[in-house]
Structure formats: structure tokens, C-alpha cells
Chain A
Amino acid sequence: MLSVRALTRLGVGPVDLDVAGGEIVSLTGPSGAGKTLLLRAIADLDPNEGAVTLSGVSRESLDAPRWRARVMYVPANAGWWSDTVGPHFADMDAERVKTTLHQLNLETTALGWTVATLSTGERQRLALARAVVRGPDVLLLDEPTSGLDGENVRRAEALIAGFANDGGGVLFVTHDPVQAERLGTRGLTFAGGSVVEVSR
């Protein structure tokens, strides 16, 4: 599904990696190794070089918004562009939004909440939800559960696993080796500016 070859950007790479459909690949490594930069480069949010394809289709053959709609990056601290939650889910299938929010222990009343009053955990779950309901092919998740408590970590992981079960590919960054083992079907780690397979 997602193929990355010789991807480089300032201070990172060259990186080669693959994420197949249905796969959840964990990415670990020390702080400052370039995990976030790598996810951003795959999403083409920063200038970078390398061959990145999705199901054989090269990134450059798609315009950037279409690429990012299919290979979607969810940062650890997601940005919000409206005062309330609702507009961030505008034009989405209402039933799908309701189901996804419910999976993350949230109700549709959350759509009326004010962004400024959201807790870190609520922001993180809503950011995950707004990406999943858009139906990308690949999710690039940067520490998707870092601000969540035990029950909500379990629910978020179940949502991510469900996304992969439906054929989606996931590449997620985590600082928790136990989560990498538990959620990841395969593991990668940063070593010397590039990534290598973690043996299990």
C-alpha cells in the first residue's frame, strides 16, 4: 500500500519503509530522532525528497490535497480552526461521525463543545475521530494516545485496529514500547537517521 524509498529531509533519512493494507506499524526511537519529521515528510507537509507511492501511484502524480486526504497525518497536538468542535466535522457523514465518536467514548453533543475548553484527551480523541471519519487509506499517527487515560487508550487502540481491519494502513509513533508491541503488527525504530525493523 504505502511505499517510501530514500525519503530525506533536513536531518532525516534516507528512509525506506512499507506499510501494507491492514498493517499497523509502530515507529519508536529517542526524542529528537526525527519521528514526527518523518511522518510530516510522508504527508508532504515539509519539503523533502524521495519516492513515495500509495498502491503504486506516486505522490507527485496526485495534487497535494488529494495525497493528504488519502495519506492522512494526525499530529500529537492537532490544530483547530473554528471556535467549536462541530465545524471540524462539517460535510462528514453524520452516522459515521456518531459511530466514531461513540467508539471513542464521546457523544455527538461534543460537536457543540468549545475548542478552548477541551481537555488534552478530548482534543486527541476528537482529532483522531475527524481523521478516521474522512476515510483515508493510510493514517500517520503521532503519539495518538499520549494524553489519554487507560480506558480511552483502549478505545482509541480499538478504533485504530478497526481501521486496519477494514484494510487501512497505519504508521504510528509511540514512546511506549508496550503499546508498540500491543498495537503494532510490526515495529520500526530510528537508528542513525534512518529506520530499521524491530525484531520481535
Chain B
Amino acid sequence: MIGVYIKLSYVDLMLASVLLVLAGGLSIALKLGMEKPLGVAALRTVVQLTLIGMVLKLLFQMVSPWWTGLAALIMIVLAGREVMARQTLRLKGWWSYGIGTSAMLTAGSVVTVLALTTAVRPEPWYDPRFALPLLGMVLGNTMNGVSVGMERLSNTLKREKDAIEGQLALGFDRRDAFRPYIRESMRAGLMHIVNAMSAAGLISLPGMMTGQILAGVDPTEAVKYQILIMFLIAGATSLGALIAVLAVAARLSDDRARLRLDRLRGVSR
């Protein structure tokens, strides 16, 4: 059956939506109040995915570096916005957004371009059929590491204010005072991908691999792609979390080695 791709019709999708109706019915019967959110979310899924399907089809036909670049940029900007939205303690001004987006831009583009030019090698290297899905998967997962790392550092520095200033007051360098919290935040940022890699194939069958298998690709080939993607995500998450955590640490201190929690929203001097 390898190489066989079963095309889905709209009727097939309608059949699957029966399950959604069932979920809505359960919500009404059990008074969960989730029928409306379920309906809205399902509608969003259909509209958003249909639109992106049309956009991707158009981009794949054009194979233009400019349009591919623009699409990549939009994805990165949205990822930066998502990183910021996940922060319970945001930096004042545009800093949270700026740091999140810069980390995503650097990590996402470096790792994706590296994969396109060395491992995958499509012709041309920016072929959107390869570049955009790769970037999407890298960004989607790196976003977790970046946002968790930033969130953990801001919260820990606030919680451990006395311990940090205790060291600074005694003449410790800020790098020494911040180091354990930077390490902790980096570890937290990397935990997701470490868990994902550990569970891959045993507890979970990753979505991309499953998708390829359903599309008729030989499972051993799909596995190779999945391993590549996991390694890309691990590299991008490490790089992105490192950039973001160090940038937040730099922003929450200054050239006189002070702890600057007043640069967080809702925290005064």
C-alpha cells in the first residue's frame, strides 16, 4: 500500500464532523457550556486551514524567494506575538515582543536555512513546498521553549529578588548572581523537546510522520524526516531559548549590575 494516497472528499469531512456534533451534544447534555466554544473553534479550524491551504498552493506554484520570504516573515512575527501573549510577567514597552520575535527569527531562520541547504537540498533551496512547512514546524515547537524560558526567568528573578540582591550587595558580579536562574530557565525551555524526543515512537507517533505515512510514504522514510525535524527543533529551541533568556536577563539588569524588576509591567521601583 506504500505510495498509495487516499484522497479525502468533502463528504468524508462531513462524516468526521458528526463526532463534533456528538461532542456538542454531550456538552449540552452535561451542561458543560462548551458547545459554543467547540463550534467556534471548529469553524476557525475549517476557515483558517482552508485559507492557508489556498495560500500555500499559490506560493508553491510561484516558487518566488520574495513571496516565500514574506510568508516566512509573517509566520515569525505571529510566533513572536504568541511568545509575548504567553508571558504572565511582560517587560515594559515592546521588549517582550522584540525579544521573543528576535529569538524566533534568529533560531527559526538559521536552523531552517541550514536544513534546506545541507540536509534536504531542494532545488531551488528556498522552494516553499519545503521551506515553509519546515519553518512552520520549527517555529511552532521553538515557540514553546522560548516562551517557557522567558516566562521562567522573569518569574524566578522576581521571586528570588532578595537572594539576588543579597549577592549583588556583597559585591558579587551580576553574572554570578543570575547564573543559577538562567540555567534553570534554559532547562525549563528545553524540557519540552527533550520529553518529545524521549517519547517519540514509544508513547507518541509524531504528527508529521503520521501525516507522511497517511500520504503513502514508506514509514522508514517518514521516520528519517521525523528525526531530522526533531533535531532541527532541538537545535532551534536551544538557540532560541538561549537568545531569549540572555536577552531578558540583560534587560532585567543594567550596566551598574542592578536587578531592574521595575522594567517589568506592574512592578514599581
Contact = CB atoms under 8 A, between A and B. Distances in A.
Contacts of A127: 166
A68 B160 CA distance: 19
A75 B168 CA distance: 12
In the complex, which range does the number of interface residues on chain A fall in? 20 to 34
A64 B169 contact: no
A44 interface: yes
A47 interface: yes
B170 A134 contact: yes
Contacts of B61: none
A78 B166 contact: yes
A66 interface: yes
B170 A72 contact: yes
Contacts of A65: 168, 171-174, 257
B250 to A, nearest CB: 15
Interface string B141-175: 00000000000000000001111111111111110
Given A46-B258, A46-B269, A72 B162 contact: no
Contact of B163 (A63, A81, A130): A81
Interface residues of B, number: 25
A113 to B, nearest CB: 17
A190 interface: no
B7 interface: no
Nearest to A136: B171
B31 interface: no
A33 interface: no
A74 B168 CA distance: 11
A179 interface: no
Contacts of B163: 79-81
Interface string A64-90: 111011101111011111000000000
Given A44-B256, A64-B256, A65-B257, A81 B169 contact: no
A80 B269 contact: no
Contact of B170 (A47, A68, A77): A68
Interface in A44-67: 44-47, 63-66
Contact of B165 (A10, A45, A70, A130): A45
A64 B166 contact: no
Contact of A79 (B162, B173, B180): B162
A43 interface: yes
Contacts of A130: 170
A153 interface: no
A104 B269 CA distance: 34
Nearest to B171: A69
Contact of A10 (B173, B258, B269): B269
18 contacts: A9-B269, A46-B269, A63-B257, A64-B255, A64-B256, A64-B257, A65-B172, A66-B171, A69-B170, A69-B171, A75-B166, A75-B169, A79-B160, A79-B161, A79-B162, A79-B166, A81-B164, A81-B177
Closest 10 A-B residue pairs measured CB to CB? A69-B171, A79-B166, A79-B162, A64-B257, A79-B163, A81-B163, A73-B169, A64-B256, A68-B171, A65-B171
